[in-house]
Amino acid sequence: MNALFTLTKKKKKKDNTNQNQIEVLTSHILKGLLKDRATRACWIELLEKPDNITSDTIFDKRVEDSFKDWLMKEEQKKSSFPSKVVELLNVSHILDRNRGKRSRELQLDNDVWTSSDVEDIDKHADPKLQLWEKVFSYMKNIPQKTKLDTKNMEKTSEELCRNFEYCLRCRLWFQHKSLMRPDLRSLLTHMCTSLAQDSMLFSIKLCKFLTHHLEHICDLVSPSTELEQPIASIRDVIHEYEQFSKSIGKFNQTQASGYLNSQDLSTSLNTLAEESRTWEYQSFVQVKQHYVQDLQVLTELDSIMDITLRLQQSVAFGDIWSECNAKCKDLELPKTPFAVFKQVFKDSKSMWDNYAE
């Protein structure tokens, strides 16, 4: 490498008219050094100690410009900004000067981190060194643990969902032994144990979130005997929520499809239908306790609603239902929830079975 730059310097002294050729040659040399990690070691040497190669200020600027272009260029995941920073950790003055607004890309939950990056940090990191301390300050954006309570369910629910999502984005750091993993595990443990200790913290929104993400969260802590019981408790609540959600979903769909009339719904069922549109920040346990009798009725009607919703796409079944519904208006039926619905279903299903034969 020294020979190449010596040649460049000699050519410049010999003939200043060849400046363009010199710049082209310099550009080719720098591009060649940037091709892979092995040759970039020489290029990094230029960045650290350019005076050892040449005192040419124009050349120095070319090297500095090539560094800025390489560091800030948007590339594929294998050459992400965090990967480049890990590679440049031994040139703190250059890194700090050119870091700029892209320091956010070094945060733990950035999805461009690779297993190789994490392994390199685990292998080479020394938090006692000033440079590593500075880099860690850019990386470590782990949310603070806070006391979770039910006084402000909206705030608590949003915080839990947001922090669980954060942990999922940091899955690489959970999977590899790293200096960051203990703090990440501490945050996740805090949330899981808090939920296990107080089921009132489960809002409807949080239950929806965990329905889709609980298994991925479990993968973050597996194997972990410490969280085995808290996770089991969370699973139990989410299982109850899934059954609850299915019942409410069928009820709302049956009502929206026109199979229920005002006589079928008690005051509490009407309230349930109305609240189900806006209750995402209410405690699931409280909602379930408040509507325990109505939920029992919906559970008993589960199979009937299933069949009705399955047959609703049939025009013939729709005509049969309308006919039976009209006849039921003249009947004196008990004034109990779903009395009309159950009678219309019974008559319609009987006619449908005969029609299908």
Q: How far apart are CA 122 and CA 41, in angstroms?
A: 20
Selection from 240, 253, 257 nearest residue 295 by Cα: 240
Structure-token pair, residue 169: 């984005």
Cβ–Cβ < 8 Å for 148, 159: yes
Cβ–Cβ < 8 Å for 202, 284: yes
pLDDT in tens, 294-347: 999 999 999 999 999 999 889 999 999 999 989 887 787 888 889 999 999 999
Q: Which helix (H) or strand (E) holds 65?
A: helix 57-72
33-45 per-residue burial string, b: 16 or more CB within 10 A, e: under 16: beeeeeebeebbe
For every one of its 357 residues, what pLDDT tens digit does the chain have, with 9 covering 90 and above?
444 445 444 444 445 546 666 666 666 666 666 666 656 656 666 665 555 444 455 666 666 676 666 666 665 545 666 666 666 654 444 455 555 556 777 888 988 888 888 888 877 777 676 667 777 887 889 999 999 999 999 999 999 999 999 999 999 999 888 888 999 999 999 999 999 999 999 999 999 999 999 999 999 987 677 889 999 999 999 999 999 999 999 999 999 998 988 788 889 999 999 999 999 999 999 999 999 999 999 999 999 999 999 998 899 999 999 999 898 877 878 888 899 999 999 999 999 888 765
Selection from 52, 53, 8 nearest residue 28 by Cα: 8
DSSP H helices, 148-227, are 153-169, 171-175, 181-197, 204-221
Q: Which amino acid, residue 200?
A: M
- List C-alpha distances in Å: 217 to 55, 174, 187, 231: 56, 11, 12, 9
